[in-house]
Each structure stands twice: as structure tokens, then as C-alpha cells.
A = this chain, B = another copy of it.
Amino acid sequence: MVKKSAKKNAFYAQSGGVTAVINASACGVIETARKNKGRIGKVYAGRNGIIGALTEDLIDTSKESARVIAALRHTPSGAFGSCRYKLKGLEENRAEYERLIEVFEAHNIGYFFYNGGGDSADTCLKISQLSKTLGYPIQAIHVPKTVDNDLPITDNCPGFGSVAKYVAVSIREAAFDVASMAKTSTKVFVMEVMGRHAGWIAAAGGLAAENEGDAPHIILFPEVVFNERAFLARVKESVNKYGYCAIVVSEGVRDSKGKFLAEAGGVDAFGHAQLGGVAPVVARMIQKKLGYKYHWAVADYLQRAARHIASKTDVEQAYAVGKAAVEMALAGKNSVMPAIKRTANKPYRWKIGEARLAKVANVEKMLPKNYISKDGFHITQRCRTYLQPLIQGEDYPPFKNGLPQYVKLKNVAVKKKLVKAFKVA
């Protein structure tokens, strides 16, 4: 028997933009911790991510029933709240790290699970060094998540597969609609998708085009400088050949001067430009130059929240990385991230491996050049081979009254132990 006092509690937090399956990772963390009650104490979740740790606003997940925790697997969004907040370096803001240690110490926290993307991996890395830098013993494990699919080493990022599926399904459906109307009405449809720097999500739209003539006919990637002339020529060609043209455009498309086609202005907490609205820009350009009637859609949050059409593969992987994170912690690991390793393509097989956080943090995995066709307007077979398994399988949530039944947690606060409040910058 392990002595009760020696048993450390765990801290878990969700960071950055949420996804359709980040709660499946939370489910994997909590269920696995519960299965190892002899060795791991309570799982405290940060309310609104790392801010919950800084402000000692912890959620006691042990107050939630097994049924409710299981329902996290089919619930989109971040059940404990997420945040866009990046810890500065130790030298720049030592107070934040000292505060974290205070909170961790007060609540006997020895495991730190951080569920996020590249910026969050950097935060997790800094936490993992606390024993070295500030003498507080903690094991920090990063749980990968990001719809942007831009983390290195791992085969893909949980959250991405479901957005990919949503985008491919949606452009296929909308294109069927346009094809029926094209004779006398709409000839061009433009669908805007997320992806600031990397065209992973836009590329996923390409999966819908399985046969000659299938939509989308054009994909605009952030990796390819927008060339209005070549683009319009391609639109015209598609309308002449197929009667219509369906386009997937990434929010991050730029012109030859490096300027975003859509400038919504504003910058988020990580210093990234906040975009939106390139679809109407592109659609109106087509109308003006070619005279075609158009429609456009901006999926925005719908794409990353669409748990109803989540990829089964994605849900399974999201759960698996959560589970593996706890197992790594129990195996004494620190400063690592469970990474998905692809072992076969057809049928797709994968297992969970391990990545050093130092090799993950602040490294962006871009869409390889050979994933984009030579003309810059579509994906290659190589890209298709990579992407296809990630949207495989459906994993419908339960429905009642015609609506998906997503769970809302009680999110009971842990009693504060510290006298001092902490003001988040």
C-alpha cells in the first residue's frame, strides 16, 4: 500500500482553441487516473486553463460521476474552460512560476497534464523544468490537441481529424447543391476554413474530390501565394467543364505582398492575427471579373465544434493520448508528450509513442510541398494517403429530442488554501 500522503494529485488543463474531441482526451486522463487510484490522487482541472492554476481556481473532477466523465468522450468544446494565455519565460515573469509552485504545493500536485497545441507545449516544457529551475518536483506531460495539425513528431493532432471530416463532408454536400442549381443560378461556391499558417484544414477539403470532376475544384492554401489571374482562369475552366466551381479557401491565404486577402484586424493573446471573411472577398472578385453568380460560407467555429460528425479515428486517438499521458506519468516520465505513430496506411494502423517536449515546443509542422499539386490548386495523392485515414469512421453522439446530448459538468471548485490572490496579467 502506498501511503496516502505520498500519493500526489494531478492537475489537468485545456489550452488554446478547443476542438470537437479535446474532452475525449480529458475523459482519457480522468478515467485512467481513476483506474489508478492507488497511485494517483485526485485530478484537479484548471478552470479556464492555466489561469485556473494561477488564480487557484481548481475544479474537483472527483465530484463528477463516472457516467458524466464518460459523456465527455462525446462532448465537444472544453468542459473546464480553456484560455489563450501563454506563460512568459522564467526570466521575464518569475512570479508566475513561483505562484504555480505555491498552488501546486498547497494542493499536493505532482502531475501536470496540459492539453493544447504548440504554444501550450512550450508552457508545458517550462513547467517540466520547474524541478531543475526552482526545485519543485513535478512531472509535466503534454497532451496534444490542435485543429491546426501543426505539432511535429506526432502523426497528427487530435482535433484535426474531425475538422478535416467536417470540411470534406461539407464541401461535398454544398457542391451537390451548387451542381443542381448551376444551370440558371449559382455557379460558384466558396467555403472558408480555418488554418492561419498551415493549409492542413484546407487540404482536407480535397478528400471530397475522389473522382474526376468532383468538388472541390480549387483549394486555396496559405502556403501558395494567391495569383488572381491563374485562379480566375481555373474558376472559368471549372465552370466551362463541369458547369460550376466549388472552392475551399483557407483564412490564411495571402497575396504576393504577404498581405492576408481578408484582414479582419485584431490580434489574439498569442500575437496571431485574427482573421475571417476571405470567402466573400474571393466570391466578389469572381463575380466582378467573371460575372458568375456566387454563394459563400464561413464555417468558423462550426467546423471545430461539430462533434456530431466527428471522425471515429480522431475520437479514439484523442482518448488514447489522454490515457497514455497518465500512464507516462505513472511510469515516472517528465517533459514528454504521447505522440501518435502511424505504422500502416491501408488499413491505417497506429500506436502511441513518446516525444520529447523540447522537440515539440514552438516547432510548426507545415504542409509538405509535395502535398500540394504542382499548379498549387489541389492536393496530391501523397497528401490524400496521409489524410484519408484521419477522417475514417463515424462516432455519433447520443441524440434526444432531435439534438445531440452534450454534457455540462458541475465543475465544483476546490476550496482555496492560499491567502494571497494572484492577478493574471
Q: Are B176 and A305 in contact (CB under 8 A)?
A: yes
Q: Are A305 and B77 in contact (CB under 8 A)?
A: no
A76–B189 CA distance with the chains assembled, in angstroms? 16
A308 beta carbon closer than 8 Å to chain B: yes
Chain A 304-319 interface 0/1 with B at a Cβ cutoff of 8 Å (1 = within): 1111110100000000
A108 beta carbon closer than 8 Å to chain B: no
Q: Are A300 and B300 in contact (CB under 8 A)?
A: no
Stretch at the interface among A98-106, A359-367, A389-397: A389-397
A296–B296 CA distance with the chains assembled, in angstroms? 14
* Residue of B76, B185, B268 touching A269 (CB-CB under 8 A): B185
A369–B177 CA distance with the chains assembled, in angstroms? 32
Chain A 180-202 interface 0/1 with B at a Cβ cutoff of 8 Å (1 = within): 11111110010100000000000
Q: Are A183 and B305 in contact (CB under 8 A)?
A: no
Residues A394-423 near B (CB distance < 8 A):
394, 396, 399, 401-404, 406
* Residue of B75, B79, B173, B184 touching A76 (CB-CB under 8 A): B173
* Residue of B81, B182, B297 touching A183 (CB-CB under 8 A): B81
Question: CB-nearest residue of chain B relative to A299?
Answer: B297
* Residue of B396, B403, B406 touching A207 (CB-CB under 8 A): B403
**Chain copies in the assembly?**
2
A323 beta carbon closer than 8 Å to chain B: no
A355 beta carbon closer than 8 Å to chain B: no
Interface residues on A, range: 35 or more
Q: Are B394 and A176 in contact (CB under 8 A)?
A: no
Q: Are A404 and B173 in contact (CB under 8 A)?
A: yes
Question: CB-nearest residue of chain B relative to A391?
Answer: B402
* Residue of B51, B297, B388, B399 touching A394 (CB-CB under 8 A): B399
Q: Given A48-B183, A85-B184, A180-B78, decide whether A402 and B165 contact each other with a Cβ distance below 8 A.
A: yes
Within the complex, the shortest CB–CB distance from A324 to chain B, in Å, comes to 23
Q: Are B177 and A304 in contact (CB under 8 A)?
A: yes
Which residues on B sit within 8 Å (CB–CB) of A393? 402
Q: Are B402 and A76 in contact (CB under 8 A)?
A: no
Which residues on B sit within 8 Å (CB–CB) of A180? 14, 18, 77-82
Question: CB-nearest residue of chain B relative to A164?
Answer: B402
Q: Would you mind naming 30 contact pairs between A and B with Cβ atoms under 8 Å apart?
A: A48-B183, A51-B183, A75-B176, A77-B177, A77-B179, A79-B180, A80-B180, A81-B179, A81-B183, A82-B181, A83-B185, A165-B402, A170-B306, A172-B406, A173-B305, A174-B302, A176-B305, A184-B269, A185-B269, A189-B301, A274-B293, A295-B300, A296-B300, A297-B297, A297-B299, A297-B302, A298-B298, A308-B309, A388-B401, A391-B402
Given pairs A18-B177, A84-B181, A176-B305, 19 additional interface contacts (CB within 8 A): A17-B181, A18-B181, A83-B184, A165-B402, A165-B403, A168-B402, A169-B404, A173-B301, A173-B302, A174-B300, A174-B301, A178-B301, A185-B268, A186-B301, A207-B402, A279-B298, A295-B300, A296-B298, A388-B401
- A-B complex: 7 closest residue pairs judged by Cβ atoms: A391-B402, A78-B180, A77-B176, A297-B300, A173-B305, A48-B183, A177-B305
Identify the A interface with B (CB < 8 A).
14, 17-18, 20, 48-49, 51, 75-85, 165, 168-170, 172-174, 176-186, 189, 191, 207-208, 210, 266, 268-269, 274, 276-277, 279-280, 293, 295-302, 304-309, 311, 388, 391-394, 396, 399, 401-404, 406
